[in-house]
Amino acid sequence: MLRHPAHILAQGFGSGLSSVVPGTMGTLFAWLSFHWLSGYWPQWFHPDSWPIIIAVGFTIGIWACEVTGRHLGKPDDGSMVWDEIIAFWLVLIFVAPSDTQMQTAAFVIFRFFDMVKPPPIRYFDQKWKGGFGVMADDIIAAFFTLLCLAIWKVI
């Protein structure tokens, strides 16, 4: 992980190096880091900056995942979890910070979509390659997670 700065980011500051369910560990890291960072926003900058952070993180993630995948010899290595982190941060900006039940449901639903990759997520996972492909399929999983949460909230 420490051989290149891209690896540090792509491997989620080490959370993707877990020998057991690295994607889940990356998503858990996203959840915890989101709350930790949100606790310091008033001192740094406005909470409305999350969409900008996510957009910049997505863009940098394309580069980091491309470089890391090339260095590891596997374009979508399981240790690369920056895609999960960015996508789950995107989910969390739409979930009430005080609603632990909804956040837990979001975690479970997101992991389902990310692991199972039902259509159309599987289609994009297979068609889009490189760093963009790694990042994009998780954004689509985030969209479906938010769609499920919206339906659940209406019912």
Band of residue 107 on the pLDDT scale cut at 50, 70, 90: very high
pLDDT digits (tens, 9 = 90+) for 54-99: 999 999 999 999 999 999 999 999 999 999 999 999 999 999 877 9
The separation between the first and the last C-alpha atoms of the chain, rounded to the nearest angstrom, is 44
Which run of H or E residues covers position 102? helix 100-116
Query: For residue 62, what pLDDT is reported?
Result: 98
Q: Is the predicted pLDDT of residue 134 greater than 70, yes or no? A: yes
Q: Is the predicted pLDDT of residue 3 greater than 90, yes or no? A: no
Q: Which DSSP state fits 101? A: H
The two three-digit tokens of residue 39, written as one number: 């606790």
Ordered DSSP codes for 55-97: HHHHHHHHHHHHHHHHHHT-TT-TT--HHHHHHHHHHHTTS-T
The pTM of the full predicted model, rounded to 2 decimals, is 0.93
* Cα gap 47→81, rounded to integer Å: 24
Band of residue 39 on the pLDDT scale cut at 50, 70, 90: confident
pLDDT digits (tens, 9 = 90+) for 50-66: 899 999 999 999 999 99
* Cα gap 104→30, rounded to integer Å: 13
Q: Is the predicted pLDDT of residue 27 greater than 70, yes or no? A: yes
